[in-house]
Amino acid sequence: MSADPVRVSVAGTTPYDVVIGRHLLPELSELLLGADRVAVLYSAVLGERAEAVLAVLGNRGYPVVVPDGEAAKTVAVAARCWDLLARTGFTRNDAIVGLGGGAVTDLAGWVAASWLRGVRIVHLPTTMLGMVDAAIGGKTGINLDSGKNLVGAFHPPAGVLCDLDALRTLPARDYVAGLAEVVKCGFIADPVILDLIEDDPAAAATVGELTPELVRRSVQVKADVVGADLRESGLREILNYGHTLGHAVERAESYRWRHGDAVAVGLIFAAELSRLAGRLSADVVQRHRDLLFGLGLPVAYDHAPWEMLRSFMRVDKKSRGDRLRFVVLDDVARPSTLDNPDEQLLAAAYATLEGA
């Protein structure tokens, strides 16, 4: 993998850079200039990486070990972090670093957004999903028993440092699951991503030569979207392509499925729905199936009855009122929306997932 860092700028009222490369800790020092205290939130599995970060911070650094994965995104864990900030006298001038996957950066972002009504946050994502999606765009939050991400805020980071070396220790299945978001970026905005994966699916499915370009292109897609629409009042909605059914599948699987696996199934559902609504050609739908299958992602789903998934979609926070709204495609890189689709169309799209 190339050692030259690449910078992708995210526009907005507080613009920032996403830096993609290796050995990025000198950049961290710059992003934290002026902070007297820096809390580094990470899960125990990343102890070695956290030590390297804390070594850069010296006596400004405060380690905060949080649970791994979604277990980090609770009110209790956030409260424990706030207590630590209170005990150590964190001021508005101080900063928080989120080191880990999407769950840890979501938590760290929310702690930063809520502490003293907002302090600086820098994200160091260590997973593919974190690098191309969760750490960019300022969405932060925690889960409640009644649903995921129900409490949170838009709080853009001061910077995001994607150290590609972190992906080398990521379990292969987690890397592949993160690629579902990469494929999504390809279909909604950057067809070159699709070409790169189709040229060599096996290479794309492993950390290697293709990784920097896939990350860079996906980050660029996300940066362009959230730079234009931070608060999801319009364009940002396209990032939800494949997620409406995907979130319902995650819930049906009691959140034991990886997010990316559920999104893969959701992408096929959204493509089929687009086709059945007369928007998208069968060829492009097949392209979804071939690409996702080629990467080793799930392309079939029949574990839950349609009625269950349909009822879960009703409470998806992205639906407006009782009406369902889907991101669909008119063609590759031409996302659009479909409001309140016919129930038969939805059921028919789901039926195509059965044992595909």
Whichever of 94 and 106 has its CB closer to ligand GLY, that residue is 106
Whichever of 61 and 101 has its CB closer to ligand GLY, that residue is 101
Span from 131-139, 202-210, 250-258, 287-295 in contact with ligand GLY (CB under 6 A): 131-139
Span from 64-72, 92-100, 132-140, 246-254 in contact with ligand GLY (CB under 6 A): 132-140
Residue type, 95: A
| Nearest-angstrom CA–CA distance, 69 and 235 | 29
| Nearest-angstrom CA–CA distance, 347 and 325 | 15
| 137, 152, 260, 266: which one binds ligand GLY (CB under 6 A) | 137
Pairing of β 6-10 and β 16-21 = antiparallel
Confirm or reject binding of residue 133 to ligand GLY (CB under 6 A): yes
Distances (CA, A) of 52 to 26, 49, 58: 11, 5, 10
Please check whether residue 260 is in contact with residue 129, taking contact to mean a CB–CB distance below 8 angstroms.
Answer: yes
Confirm or reject binding of residue 236 to ligand GLY (CB under 6 A): yes
| Nearest-angstrom CA–CA distance, 141 and 190 | 28
What is the number of the residue whose Cβ is closest to ligand GLY?
Answer: 239
Alpha-carbon Rg for the chain in angstroms: 20
- Which 253-282 positions form the footprint of ligand GLY (CB under 6 A)? none
Span from 7-15, 20-28, 133-141, 308-316 in contact with ligand GLY (CB under 6 A): 133-141
Closest CA to 178 of 160, 197, 155, 191: 197
Confirm or reject binding of residue 139 to ligand GLY (CB under 6 A): yes
Whichever of 96 and 188 has its CB closer to ligand GLY, that residue is 188
Interface contacts to ligand GLY, rule CB under 6 A = 133, 137, 139, 236, 239
